[in-house]
C-alpha cells in the first residue's frame, strides 16, 4: 500500500473533488456535519481562524493498496484502515473526512484533515509525505497487504526483464556507438535517456518503459555509461564478447 501526504490551503476544492468523483463514497468523518466542500471548509475555519499564521492549514492524504488488495478489502476494512492511519498519524482528534474511490482499476482512500486542532495549534508538516508512507507501510504489514517497497521491487523486476530482453536483441545488431544503441532500444519500446557533459561525452543514462524509469546501472553495473560504451566498442571488434544481464 502506498501512502502520500501533503499540506494544502484550499480544502473546499479538495473535498468537492473527492466527493463528486464517479463512484466516490464517504467512509467516515470526525467533528463535521457539512456536506459540500464549502460547508466543510467553513467548519475547518472555526479552528483555523485561531491560527492565522498557518497558510497551508489542511492535510490531504491518499492511501492506495495494490489492485488485488483493493479488490478484496471491504468497505468496513477501508473504514478501519482510515481510522488506524489517523490514529498512527496522531490526528484522530482533528476534524477529518475520508472518501473511497473506485473509479480506477484500484480502490484508494482520500483523507482530509484539519491541520489546526481545537486549541488552535498547527500540526507540523515536516516530511509529512514520508511519515504518511511509513504509517501506510506499517498498516500494510499489519493487514498482510502488499507494501510500497514490494510494489517498487516488483516494478523494478519487470523493468529489468523488459530492458534485458530488448538489450539482448539489439546487442546482436552491434550498434556503432551509444547513440545508435539508444535509437535501437527505442525501437524495442525502451527509451534511453543520455546525460551528456559539456564536451558531449555521455556520462550517465537511464531507461524508461512507459511511465516507469530506472537508472541503467541499477539494471546491471555493466550498463553504466562508461561500462556500456566500452562494451559497445568490444562488441564491434569481436563476436566472442557477450554482455550478460
Give the whole-number percent of the chain exceeding pLDDT 90: 89
User: Distance between CA atoms of 17 and 83, rounded to whole angstroms?
Assistant: 21
Of 54, 120, 61, residue with least CA distance to 88: 61
Of 168, 163, 180, 12, residue with least CA distance to 97: 12
pLDDT score of 241 more than 70: no
H/E element holding 209? Answer: strand 202-209
H/E element holding 172? Answer: none
pLDDT digits (tens, 9 = 90+) for 62-119: 999 999 999 999 999 999 999 999 999 999 999 999 999 997 778 999 999 999 999 9
Domains and CATH numbers, the chain: 2-146 (3.30.930.30), 151-237 (no CATH)
Count the Cβ atoms, other than its own, within 10 Å of residue 157.
10
Per-residue b/e over 51-86, b at no fewer than 16 CB within 10 Å?
A: eeebeebbbbbbbbbbeebbeebeeeebebbbbbbb
Check if the beta carbon of residue 129 is closer than 8 Å to that of residue 5: yes
pLDDT digits (tens, 9 = 90+) for 142-171: 999 999 888 888 889 999 999 999 999 999
Count the Cβ atoms, other than its own, within 10 Å of residue 108.
19
Alpha helices in the chain (DSSP H): 11-20, 37-48, 67-72, 75-88, 128-142, 148-171, 178-187, 216-219, 225-237
- Which range, of 3-12, 19-28, 109-118, 143-152, averages the lowest pLDDT? 143-152
Average pLDDT (137-141) is: 96
Check if the beta carbon of residue 147 is closer than 8 Å to that of residue 155: no
Supply 222's cell numbers.
Answer: 555493466
3-state helix, strand, coil in the chain (%, to 5): 45, 20, 35
pLDDT score of 240 more than 80: no
Output the pLDDT for position 116. Answer: 98
Of 244, 229, 168, 222, residue with least CA distance to 195: 229
* End-to-end alpha carbon distance in the chain: 30
User: Distance between CA atoms of 207 and 185, rounded to whole angstroms?
Assistant: 9
pLDDT digits (tens, 9 = 90+) for 206-232: 999 999 999 999 999 999 999 999 999
CB-count exposure of residue 172 (10 Å: 0-12, 13-18, 19+): exposed
pLDDT digits (tens, 9 = 90+) for 105-117: 789 999 999 999 9
Output the pLDDT for position 134. Answer: 97
Q: Report DSSP state, residue 208.
A: E
Amino acid at each position: 500500500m502506498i501512502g502520500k501526504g501533503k499540506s494544502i490551503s484550499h480544502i473546499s476544492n479538495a473535498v468537492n473533488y473527492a466527493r463528486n468523483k464517479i463512484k466516490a463514497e464517504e467512509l467516515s468523518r470526525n467533528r463535521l456535519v457539512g456536506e459540500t466542500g464549502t460547508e466543510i471548509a467553513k467548519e475547518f475555519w472555526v479552528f483555523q481562524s485561531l491560527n492565522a499564521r498557518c497558510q497551508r492549514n489542511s492535510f490531504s492524504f491518499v492511501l492506495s493498496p495494490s489492485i488485488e488488495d483493493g479488490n478484496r478489502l471491504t468497505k468496513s476494512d477501508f473504514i478501519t484502515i482510515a481510522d488506524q492511519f489517523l490514529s498512527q498519524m496522531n490526528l484522530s482528534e482533528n476534524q477529518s473526512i475520508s472518501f473511497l474511490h473506485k473509479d480506477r482499476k484500484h480502490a484508494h482512500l482520500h483523507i482530509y484533515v484539519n491541520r489546526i486542532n481545537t486549541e488552535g495549534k498547527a500540526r507540523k508538516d515536516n516530511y509529512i509525505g514520508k511519515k504518511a508512507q511509513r504509517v501506510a507501510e506499517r498498516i500494510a504489514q499489519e493487514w498482510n497487504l502488499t507494501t510500497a517497497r514490494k510494489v517498487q521491487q516488483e516494478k523494478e523486476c519487470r523493468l529489468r526483464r523488459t530492458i534485458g530482453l530488448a538489450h539482448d536483441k539489439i546487442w546482436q545488431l552491434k550498434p556503432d556507438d551509444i547513440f545508435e544503441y539508444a535509437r535501437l532500444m527505442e525501437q524495442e519500446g525502451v527509451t534511453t535517456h543520455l546525460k551528456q557533459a559539456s564536451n558531449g561525452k555521455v556520462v550517465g543514462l537511464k531507461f524508461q518503459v512507459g511511465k516507469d524509469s530506472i537508472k541503467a546501472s541499477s539494471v546491471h553495473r555493466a550498463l553504466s555509461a562508461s561500462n556500456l560504451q566500452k562494451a559497445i566498442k568490444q562488441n564491434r571488434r569481436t563476436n566472442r564478447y557477450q554482455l550478460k544481464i
